[in-house]
Amino acid sequence: MAKPGPHPRNRHGGRYDFPRLVAACPALAPFLRPNPVGEPTVDFADPRAVRLLNRALLADWYGLASWDLPEGYLCPPIPGRADYVHHLADLLAGERPGPLRALDIGTGASLIYPILGRKEYRWTVVATEVDPGALAAAEAIRAGDPDLAAGIELRRQRDPGRIFAGVARPGERFDLCLCNPPFHASAAEARAGSQRKWRNLGKGAGPRPVLNFGGQARELWCPGGEVGFVGRMMAESARDPQLCLWFTSLVARSASLPQLQAALRQAGAARVRVIPMGQGQKESRILAWSFTDPSNRTG
């Protein structure tokens, strides 16, 4: 089966243009290394290098100067994150005119989805997070850029077992929600996953990071893993079905889909979509559901 490629509107042309990125962010220069054929690259297993790569990319794409990440937090691969936002823009196109109002569940220290939604499509975004350190880092990025400050609001979720409750205000409405859930079911599983990633980068020997590429333990796992998290999201969405026109989440494992799709049928979702995504070797998918069926309007 053909693997899905990057979204056609993704600004990332398949490979990083390092000379251009260094021009946008000179601090990246000391981290450049030649790859086996002598072209510049960075060590993707070095969190400092990946952090500066992200900083450079956001400076180059959007002129954003305020992006940074404290040590130890999840450093997202930006091209893959951008694909999710582009696919959501397509999903909502034709259904909702004008800039969308989005709810980002678990925005992380990087504030990555709100930045992409704002800068690519002028979305206004409410972003939630349970981790106070991540929230403070996200707030520093937001406050450092007037456009982000105008279009993004951060809210702390005090109960990690809840998704919308406690952060959405009574009667509040969004066009969509998006989420990259913690996908491991335990700290031990998260650690094993990190070690697998580490080996795939050819770092079998030598000291191993405690976690992958930065990433606080609780960013990577929650009770029940991604099925648990997205399942809780579904259950809450069914209780407040008009909160979002489209509820969406990433699902990292295809094996998680059958159970989640069954839960959606049971919850009475009117529309369900699975949108495949792929960047490099990594495949993922968006699971989207809506309790509103435009072909079935009664009022």
Q: How many residues bind ligand SAH (CB under 6 A)?
A: 24
Contact between 112 and ligand SAH by CB under 6 A: the answer reads: yes
Residue from the set 66, 180, 194, 279 that interacts with ligand SAH by CB under 6 A: 180
| Cβ-proximal residue to ligand SAH, closest one | 106
Contact 174, 86 (CB under 8 A): no
Looking at beta carbons only, is 138 or 245 nearer to ligand SAH? Answer: 138
**Whole-number minimum distance, CB 33 to ligand SAH, in Å?**
25
Q: Quick one: which segment of 4-12, 206-214, 216-224, 251-259 binds ligand SAH (CB under 6 A)? A: 216-224
Looking at beta carbons only, is 128 or 256 nearer to ligand SAH? Answer: 128
Q: Quick one: which segment of 5-13, 92-100, 141-149, 154-162 binds ligand SAH (CB under 6 A)? A: 154-162
- The residue assigned the tokens 């999903």 is 91
Residue from the set 28, 56, 74, 260 that interacts with ligand SAH by CB under 6 A: 74
Residue from the set 76, 79, 117, 151 that interacts with ligand SAH by CB under 6 A: 76
- Cα-Cα end-to-end distance for the chain: 43
| Tally of CB atoms within 10 A around 98 | 7
Q: Quick one: which segment of 37-45, 215-223, 258-266, 290-298 binds ligand SAH (CB under 6 A)? A: 215-223
Contact between 134 and ligand SAH by CB under 6 A: the answer reads: yes
Looking at beta carbons only, is 60 or 106 nearer to ligand SAH? Answer: 106
Q: Quick one: which segment of 6-14, 38-46, 104-112, 263-271 binds ligand SAH (CB under 6 A)? A: 104-112
Contact between 83 and ligand SAH by CB under 6 A: the answer reads: no
Q: Cα–Cα distance between 80 and 114 in angstroms, integer?
A: 14
Give the pairing of strands 124-129 and 152-156: parallel
Looking at beta carbons only, is 22 or 74 nearer to ligand SAH? Answer: 74
Q: Cα–Cα distance between 122 and 137 in angstroms, integer?
A: 22
Contact between 113 and ligand SAH by CB under 6 A: the answer reads: yes
Q: Quick one: which segment of 25-33, 41-49, 156-164, 290-298 binds ligand SAH (CB under 6 A)? A: 156-164
In sign, the C-alpha dihedral spanning 233, 235, 239, 242 is positive
Give the pairing of strands 101-105 and 124-129: parallel
Query: How far, in whole angstroms, is CA 88 from its chain's centroid?
Result: 12
Contact between 82 and ligand SAH by CB under 6 A: the answer reads: no
Looking at beta carbons only, is 81 or 142 nearer to ligand SAH? Answer: 81
Q: Cα–Cα distance between 41 and 239 in angstroms, integer?
A: 48
Contact between 130 and ligand SAH by CB under 6 A: the answer reads: yes
